Amino acid sequence: MQVSSVHLKQFHRQGFFFIPRPFDQVQLENIDRLQVDNHERWRTTDWPLGLNRLACQFLMLGEPLLKLVEKPEIVAMAQQILESDQVHVNACGIGDSISNRSQPQVPWHSDGVNCRQVSFRTALDRHDQPNAPLRFLPGSDCRSHEEVQLELMQFELATGRHDKAPAPKQLYAKHPDEIEVILDPRWTLVWSPSCWHATGVKTSVGQRRAIGWNYSTDRDQKHDKIVRAVKHVFNDQWHHWTQERKKLWAVG
């Protein structure tokens, strides 16, 4: 699964491209079943404060998911995109990130400023118009964080919804250059979470589950979080992992 130079250009200019889902239908159904079967155990677990719950849910599903992240052709693709042999996982998650929020929508944000990273995201349930599609601002990782934030604030104020100070903390307004990503389970989005993104409003009653993980060349706070989740979930097991696995998950 080689990335062409045209795909690389698209990633570096726009921050995303699509690949056919890099695992087959049987694997998809297996992941779906594992997530459903484990959901109640995950939901009722008393997770320590500050632990990333969606990462823990991902890790609880164990070997099939670890193997997916370690798939040589996917790691090679990440190495090619990030132009480094030294990549490690700095985030992972599975589940529905919207249904438990107070708002049926995720506001504009970027995950990781000045961080070289690439994320692989596959929908388990189609993210279409009533199901909070991803909204994405192409190329925004190439601009300063403050500049894009200020721009989004102006579009938010231009909605006329906010009539007094202080300025709104959560920004949802449409940006003229945003694209709406309808993510179908047949495809995987390869993207930079450093690009600004948000979601549309979820009005459908069904689930909006996705599976995703990131590779990075940097070791920052985000990386510390994933290591903490790995050590918590694989408590007495991670010490026995192979050196290769420890290296990719940067634990040890």
d(CA 87, CA 25): 28
Binding track over 57-96 against Fe ion, x by CB under 5 A:
----------------------------------------
In the complex, the smallest distance separating the C-beta of residue 109 from Fe ion, rounded to whole angstroms, is: 6
DSSP β-ladder status, 187-191 and 16-20: antiparallel
In the complex, the smallest distance separating the C-beta of residue 79 from Fe ion, rounded to whole angstroms, is: 23
Should residue 105 be labelled a site residue for Fe ion when binding is judged by CB under 5 A? no
Please name the helix (run of DSSP H) or strand (run of DSSP E) that holds residue 5, with its range, or none. Answer: helix 5-14
Query: What is the chain's length?
Result: 252
The 16-20 sheet, strands edge to edge: 16-20, 187-191, 117-123, 209-216, 88-96
Stretch that binds Fe ion, among 6-14, 23-31, 57-65, 110-118 (CB under 5 A): 110-118
Indicate the residue type of 23: F
Nearer to Fe ion among residue 135 and residue 251 (C-beta)? 135
Nearer to Fe ion among residue 171 and residue 251 (C-beta)? 171
Should residue 225 be labelled a site residue for Fe ion when binding is judged by CB under 5 A? no
Pair 71, 248: CB distance under 8 Å: no
Should residue 111 be labelled a site residue for Fe ion when binding is judged by CB under 5 A? yes
Nearer to Fe ion among residue 70 and residue 125 (C-beta)? 125
Nearer to Fe ion among residue 111 and residue 180 (C-beta)? 111
Sign, Cα dihedral of 24, 27, 32, 33? positive
Per-residue tokens: 184: 């179908």
d(CA 74, CA 138): 23
Nearer to Fe ion among residue 91 and residue 227 (C-beta)? 91
Phi and psi at 236, nearest 5°, equal -105, 15
Should residue 32 be labelled a site residue for Fe ion when binding is judged by CB under 5 A? no
Should residue 145 be labelled a site residue for Fe ion when binding is judged by CB under 5 A? no
In the complex, the smallest distance separating the C-beta of residue 111 from Fe ion, rounded to whole angstroms, is: 4
Per-residue tokens: 243: 């050196």
CB within 8 Å of 23: residues ≥ 6 apart: 31, 68, 71
Please count the CA atoms within 13 angstroms of the CA of 73 that sit on its side-chain side: 7
In the complex, the smallest distance separating the C-beta of residue 193 from Fe ion, rounded to whole angstroms, is: 6
Stretch that binds Fe ion, among 6-14, 58-66, 105-113, 128-136 (CB under 5 A): 105-113
Should residue 97 be labelled a site residue for Fe ion when binding is judged by CB under 5 A? no
Residue with the CB atom nearest Fe ion in the bound state? 111
Interface with Fe ion: number of residues (CB under 5 A): 1
Residues forming contacts to Fe ion in the complex (CB under 5 A) are: 111
